[in-house]
Structure 1
Amino acid sequence: MLMPDALHAALATPGLIWLCLTIGAAGLVRGFTGFGTAMIFVPVGTQFLPVADVVFMMAATGIFSTMALAPQAWRECDKGEVSTLALAAAVTVPMGLWLMTRIDPVALRWIASGVIGLTLLAVITGWRWQGRLGWPGRFAIGGGAGTVGGMTGLTGPVVIVFYLANARDVRRVRANTIIFLAMLDIVIVANILLGGLADTATLWVALILTVPYLITTLIGKRLFDPSLEKLYRVASYGVIAAAVISGLPVLD
């Protein structure tokens, strides 16, 4: 497909305005918490687009937006821990993408809604991982994130529930999440392109969505203040809950 034709096809994407508004809201949340983009965008995106396109767009826009957050996050993150998680995730992403191509799209939407709902419930109720997170645990969590991320585009929930929920340093949690998700996004995009699961029009849609996403991510980053953590979390939970409810297949 020629580039002008691909751009024209991208601009004709069903629900493009809603996708831009949703990714904008997700950028705000990502900017001041370090996570939440996929939990907001995936339920809405899968109402308009095939799951494979949504997974690709999540990863591609994540790479671009991370450029604004990565330098500071890289200085603050635990590099050894994040690298371990990312390595394990890289190994399991192909399995997740394979499952995505084999499972019915409606079933995938239910799976995504369930993962988001359980994650949100665990975080809101204050559930905490009580054990010590050693190397085997980190590999398991990273592998789980890679599988779920490749299958649904939800790269963050596994880490949020089983690893980040146990942390006490808000700034370190945010930095670890940003860098881990950036690494995982690169792996997912590479696998999708090598597997021929995305075309030029899909790439153009991702580039279009990157504009509002990057702008609102920068706004969210500027608004970030550790002393207002509770306010940020309440706002984020509300946006995520609204997204997951709107994306339930039963409401189609």
Structure 2
Amino acid sequence: MNESIALMLFSCATVLVAGYVRGYGGFGFSMITVAALSLFCAPAQVVPVVLLLEVAASLFLLPGIWRLVAWPLLRWLLTGVAVGTPVGVWMLGNVSPAPMKIAVAVIIFTLALMLRQGFEVNRRLKRPGTMAAGLVSGVLNGAAAIGGPPAILFFFSSPVGAAVSRASLVAFFLVTDILAGGFCVAAGLMTVGHARQAAILAIPMAAGLFLGKLAFIRTPETVFKKRVLLYLMMLSLLTLVRSAKPFLT
């Protein structure tokens, strides 16, 4: 099979799975897609496409959950994101792929492990802590389209509840991905070619989003969460091993 065809089939399958996860839990699309596609492509090739797909996914999901979004928390979180995103976009254009892949893998694994082990914050985070989480999210979102981990940890370790967390994350990703995409365009890192790739991958993503929305109603949250986090941990370990191999030889 031609390598380009095999890569496209792998990309479609990855986006389908990631779309399902995003449709159900409100998060995970970038983490899954970037981790998988970065096995074969440089982050600068993957990230712009993922940003475009993330915006489309949020627009698909947000109308039905708008009233559940925790807007007061989002305001301060997004303030931090606005500061951190330009730094992340600079890193995308100037940091070599291997170290960035290693950083992505470590972040994903650590987050997944903490959530799987039941990490919780039993008190409401104050404004500085919320802005700090947003700052880290902005840097990671601009650099590798994985701004979700700090925000996911922030919401799912707080007492606001699963439905509010899911809705707030959908709104969060819409704003952060539009912001990061704008910086990518300004930096010359997003091209018409990226838009074409995103348009093709939007088809399997839409199917995944639809199935994920149905599963959100039917599947116990704890079962889904443990399965997704385990998958993310395994995928991040694979990325870490492949990316660290050149430094070990």
Q: Same fold (TM over 0.5)?
A: yes
Counterpart for residue 63 of structure 2: 71
Q: Distance in 2 between matches of 1:113 and 1:194?
A: 27
Letter in 1 for 2:234: A
What does the per-residue CA deviation read over 1:19-47, in whole Å, with 9 as the maximum and x for residues that have no partner? Answer: 11111101111111111112211111112
The answer to whether 1:148 aligns with 2:140 is yes
Letter in 1 for 2:23: G
Q: Distance in 2 between matches of 1:56 and 1:167?
A: 33
Q: Is the contact between residue 23 and residue 209 of structure 1 (CA under 8 Å) also seen in structure 2?
A: yes
SS of residue paired to 1:205: helix
**Shift in alpha-carbon separation, 1:97–1:215, aligned structure 2, 3 A:** same
Q: Distance in 1 between matches of 2:77 and 2:96?
A: 29
User: What TM-score, normalized to structure 1?
Assistant: 0.89
The answer to whether 1:18 aligns with 2:10 is yes
Segment drifting more, 16-25 vs 106-115: 16-25
Counterpart for residue 85 of structure 1: 77
**Shift in alpha-carbon separation, 1:204–1:38, aligned structure 2, 3 A:** same
Counterpart for residue 239 of structure 2: 247
Q: Is the contact between residue 41 and residue 243 of structure 1 (CA under 8 Å) also seen in structure 2?
A: no
Q: Distance in 1 between matches of 2:156 and 2:220?
A: 18
Aligned residues: 242
Counterpart for residue 219 of structure 1: 211
What does the per-residue CA deviation read over 1:138-181, in whole Å, with 9 as the maximum and x for residues that have no partner? Answer: 11111110011111211110112244322351100111111101
What does the per-residue CA deviation read over 1:73-122, in whole Å, with 9 as the maximum and x for residues that have no partner? Answer: 22111112113212321221110111222222100000000000100111
Counterpart for residue 208 of structure 1: 200
Show structure 1 runs of 5+ residues with no match. Answer: 1-10
Counterpart for residue 232 of structure 1: 224
SS of residue paired to 1:129: coil
Q: Is the contact between residue 27 and residue 170 of structure 2 (CA under 8 Å) also seen in structure 1?
A: yes
Counterpart for residue 94 of structure 1: 86
Q: Distance in 1 between matches of 2:239 and 2:215?
A: 28
Select which of 157, 169, 174 maps to 1:165. 157
1:13 offset after TM fit, Å?
7.6
Q: Distance in 2 between matches of 1:246 and 1:123?
A: 19
Counterpart for residue 188 of structure 2: 196
Q: Distance in 2 between matches of 1:222 and 1:127?
A: 27
Select which of 164, 168, 181 maps to 1:176. 168
Segment drifting more, 194-203 vs 107-116: 194-203
